[in-house]
Amino acid sequence: MSLLKSPLIGLKADSFRHPLDLEATKTLKQIPGLDMMVRNWLGPMAEQVFYVENIASSILVGEKQLPDLHKLLLDACKVLDIEPPQLYIRQHPAPNAYTFAMRGKQPFVVLHTSLVDILTPEEIQAVIAHELGHLKCDHSVYLTPVNLLVLAAGILPNVGAIVAQAIQAQLLEWVRCAEFTCDRAALLATQDPKAVMSVLMKLAGGSPTLAPQLNLDAFIDQARAYDDISKTELGEMVKSARTAQLTHPVPVLRAREIDRWASSQEYQTLLQSHGQKYTSEVAPKGGWRNW
């Protein structure tokens, strides 16, 4: 089984980076001492605690271990033109996926078993590609403190109560904007907006029994209803308060964003320009290479 789409040879991060990501990154760089905090405090802590703890408690995917998932990773990397990171599967009841990239360490992606259980192969590849987007865009400098502090809440005693205070509002705002960029990476890898939006729908309300029954069109209608809330001042205040301490935008908002970008000229031009490059540089004489 292969889900490989046309490789986007020479794909650059800035060619698909979401405008809100660019704006939030500029704001984040103005926070004094953030990079020093990552290097001198969070970096060593990650190496000694979280990095080792994850590797010791997860399954490393490879050619001889869950090879179908390994193939999904390699195919997504080919499309996004990025070196493959390590991929781990971790037993966990909360559907989630995350990425770590520390200096001097091979980057790795982690998928929770409960997430894999509710997704189709193409949806799993969309999740993997989303995480690859963080690596492609070099989000690790700012993403690492977020992941560390969130994971700390579940691993270290008494940390959960101070997590919200420890992560500055600007950091949370940035990571929410970065998620929009990585959803675009998921779309580029799968080249199927329905696969990406279906992942978001299942994250919002899926389970092994409910996931096959969910209706994507109804979920997209729900996203439009969420937009309608912004038409009143009170509704906008409620939305802002709801998202202020979240590390991800709400799923319906992410689905709306990917739906819009999938139908944009920017997305179509990106696929066409890199597809033409792929045809001329890689395809055998006489036509498109069949992956």
Residue-wise pLDDT tens digits, 123-159? 999 999 999 999 998 887 666 666 565 555 555 555 5
Exactly one of 131, 173, 266, 281 is catalytic; name it.
131
Whether 156 is in a domain gets the answer yes
Whether 284 is in a domain gets the answer no
Whether 282 is in a domain gets the answer no
Whether 5 is in a domain gets the answer no
Question: H or E segment at 60?
Answer: strand 59-60
Whole-prediction pTM: 0.80
Whether 99 is in a domain gets the answer yes
Whether 281 is in a domain gets the answer no
**Residue 69's domain spans which residues?**
13-276
Among this protein's residues, is 173 annotated catalytic? no
> Residue 108 and residue 126: Cα distance in Å, rounded?
16
The torsion of the CA quartet 128, 133, 135, 140, rounded to 10 degrees, works out to -110
Whether 228 is in a domain gets the answer yes
Confidence grade of residue 166 (pLDDT, cut at 50, 70, 90)? very low
> Between residues 270 and 23, which one has the greater pLDDT?
270
How many domains is the chain built from? 1
